[in-house]
């Protein structure tokens, strides 16, 4: 009996399954690490609010202002005085028409420190203000 010679064919298909697996793993890693990167460095104990809605982020310049329990004011995680805060707002106002401010205040802070921050914001006509709280 004669055997027919076998013809070996080269595989020309590309298997993308391993590539897809790697991409999905990278996507999951980035989704988990991104919120950690954007967390505030200053720890505050936020007050509770029964009627609050989550803020939706939009395109204006976003400023984070924190008033810690000891009354220290932070502008984007940098400690500032009230005069320095006003200078920072003034500088930001030069290049940004729309400014969005997120105010984080420790629930045990004296209200006069929060009022001093609000006075600066009112002086520079900042109306897009979000006061952080925890929903109960």
The domain limits of the chain are 48-135
> Residue 74 CB: number of other CB atoms within 10 A?
19
- What local confidence, expressed as pLDDT, does residue 58 receive? 41
- What local confidence, expressed as pLDDT, does residue 67 receive? 93
* Ranges of the chain whose pLDDT falls below 50: 56-58
Supply the CATH classification number for the domain 48-135. 3.30.420.270
Structure tokens at 17: 């399954």
- What local confidence, expressed as pLDDT, does residue 52 receive? 64
Nearest C-alpha neighbor of 89 from the set 66, 69, 65: 65
- 50 Cβ contact partners less than 8 Å away, ≥ 6 residues apart: 135, 136
Residues in the chain: 136
């Amino acid at each position: 009996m004669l055997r027919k010679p076998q013809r070996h064919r080269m595989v020309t298909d590309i298997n993308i399954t391993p590539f897809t697996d790697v991409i999905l793993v990278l996507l999951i890693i980035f989704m988990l690490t991104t919120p950690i990167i954007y967390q505030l460095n200053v720890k505050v104990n936020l007050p509770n609010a029964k009627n609050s809605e989550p803020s939706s982020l939009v395109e204006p310049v976003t400023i984070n202002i924190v008033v810690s329990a000891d009354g220290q004011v932070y502008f984007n995680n940098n400690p500032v005085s009230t005069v320095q805060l006003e200078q920072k707002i003034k500088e930001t106002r030069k290049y940004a028409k729309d400014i969005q401010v997120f105010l984080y205040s420790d629930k045990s802070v004296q209200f006069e420190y929060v009022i001093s921050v609000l006075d600066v914001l009112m002086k520079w006509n900042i109306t897009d203000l979000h006061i952080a709280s925890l929903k109960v």
